[in-house]
Structure 1
Amino acid sequence: MADGADLRRMVLALPDTTEAPHFDRAAFRADRIFVTLDASESTANFKFTPDEQEFKCQLAPDLFAPVNNAWGRSGWTTMTLGPASEDDLRAALEMAHAHAVGKPKRKR
């Protein structure tokens, strides 16, 4: 079983990753945001490609679901942390992190 503390520990161990507030969530970024953690620390949203999202949702529908809006149609995917193993969480983090590294930083 994974939780918000596991996510925070694993994600901050990834190269060049920092944490900052993002609306009502904690956001983790390398060059871009690639995962956010909700305030209750029970779910996280990951930036996948649409194909990766489809694969994750078919493989583990008890863990993954598309975010229910335009962000979801572009690949953002919610993971329910409670039933996830640390291996599930690590694989999702590494996949999302790969999309954030080497991307031009957006002006904020």
Structure 2
Amino acid sequence: MVTINAFRKLALSFPEVTEEPHFEKTSFRIKKKIFATFDERNKRAIIKLSEIDQNVFSTAAKSIIYPVDNKWGKQGWTIIEMEKVNRKLFDDALTVAYCTVAPQKLAELVNRNNKDY
């Protein structure tokens, strides 16, 4: 299980991230582009992945990480069930989401600092 506080701490540790409201959710953005949202009521995160990364994470944990069930899912938006996901898998997925959306120079900073990535 991953809490909103753990989510927030990791998301805000990435370079130049801001936290902003997004309808009834909390969003995390880089250069005004959303890479993750948190739906506190449903205990879900939604992150932006490439099609390949979405497939890899979904295959690893089909009932915990899966595409949004509409056109947004086909664009890489992926649901994470926060009460079921383990911390390491979540950290990896959120890091990949950040690097997917961030400008290359900022993504490279995260990649260099994350030895497991």
TM category, shorter: 0.7 to 0.9
Identity %: 29
How big is the alpha-carbon RMSD for the aligned residues of Structure 1 and Structure 2? Answer: 1.4
State the distance in 1 between where 2:96 and 2:42 align.
Answer: 20
Greater than 2 Å deviation, 4+ residue runs: none
Structure 2 unaligned regions, length at least 5: 105-117
C-alpha offsets along residues 7-37 of structure 1, whole Å, 9 cap, x if unaligned? Answer: 1111111111110001111110112110000
* Structure in which a larger fraction of residues adopt helix: 2
User: 3-state SS of the aligned residue for 2:79?
Assistant: strand
State the distance in 1 between where 2:85 and 2:4 align.
Answer: 11
C-alpha offsets along residues 25-67 of structure 1, whole Å, 9 cap, x if unaligned? Answer: 1110112110000032611001001111111111111210110
Paired residue total: 103
- TM-score (norm. length: structure 2): 0.82
Higher relative contact order (Cα pairs below 8 Å, separated by 6+ residues): 1
Equivalent residue, structure 2, for 1:14: 14
Structure 1 unaligned regions, length at least 5: 104-108
